[in-house]
Amino acid sequence: MLEVREETADRIFRAQSPEVRGQLRLDISSRTYPPDLNKPVDLSLARQAIGERVVDMARRCASDAIQLHGRREGFESGAIPPEPDASGRLLLMRDARHFERFVLYRLNKILGTDPRSDSYEDAMTNLAEDFYQWAEEQKEDFEIAQERLLIRCKALPQYPGLSQAGPGLRTLDL
């Protein structure tokens, strides 16, 4: 699992908007819970928690890209990922230091970061570097092509009673 650098976690914490800091915590994940809630962040735990959050978010983007196929009217600019390319891949980063716009939109929601913050650009650059470096090794899910980082948009999970592509018409027979 991705663990961002402590420096990255610290910069993300500093890039949170003042009203969010200490409320939207950066150190809670499926494996971590801060031992002292009176401290606004535990950076050692935040390294894991931010990593998990960002990877899950990237996978959610891939799911959304599949499920919102052809139904993209009415969204705010940057709120949803674009269509996957012809090879079923979604572009997340145009190079090792820059996320795509819809990724930044979602990162701001799950990390509470504020683009107006002085630390924002550095925080996102650090995070981009950490994520890119990690994703390079995850060849089953991610792909680097001409420095661009893409995630493979796999089929949605198989559920009883449903076809894999989306809502099915079969009866659910448990």
Partner 1 sequence: MAQFHILHASDLHMALFPYKASMPSLTIPALSWLGKVAFWRQASHDPNVVAAFGELAERYYPITDVLLVTGDLATTGEPHDLQAAYTCYPAAPANNLVHVTAAGDPTLYRWASAGKLDLLPGNHDRFHPAYKGYRPGNGEFENVFCPSTGQQFWPKGQTVARGFAVQRGPWELHVIKADFSLPASHHGKSFYWLPGWLGQGTVDPTVLGLLKQETEDARAEIASRGSIPITLWAIHFDPTSTDEVLKLLDSEDLCQAAWELCVPLILCGHTHESKIKPLSDRTVAFVCGTSGQAGPGHKDCQIIGVDADDYGAKPPVFHVAWFRYGAGQFHFIGMR
- Compare residues 20 and 97 and give the one whose CB is closer to partner 1: 20
Least distance in angstroms from the C-beta of 146 to partner 1: 26
Chain residues binding partner 1 by CB under 8 A are 20, 23-26, 28-38, 53, 55-60, 62-64, 67-68, 71, 73-76, 79-80, 105-106, 109-110, 112, 156-162, 166-174
Which stretches does DSSP call E strand in 6-74?
none
Least distance in angstroms from the C-beta of 106 to partner 1: 7
- What is the rounded distance in angstroms from the CA atom of residue 32 to the CA atom of residue 46? 8
Least distance in angstroms from the C-beta of 117 to partner 1: 17
- Compare residues 97 and 141 and give the one whose CB is closer to partner 1: 141
Please report the DSSP string for 69-80 in residue order: TT--TTPPTTSS
- What is the rounded distance in angstroms from the CA atom of residue 40 to the CA atom of residue 139? 35
Please report the DSSP string for 114-151 in residue order: -TTSTTHHHHHHHHHHHHHHHHHH-TTTEEEETTEEEE
Cα 144 to its chain centre, rounded Å, is 17
Least distance in angstroms from the C-beta of 14 to partner 1: 17
- Compare residues 146 and 173 and give the one whose CB is closer to partner 1: 173
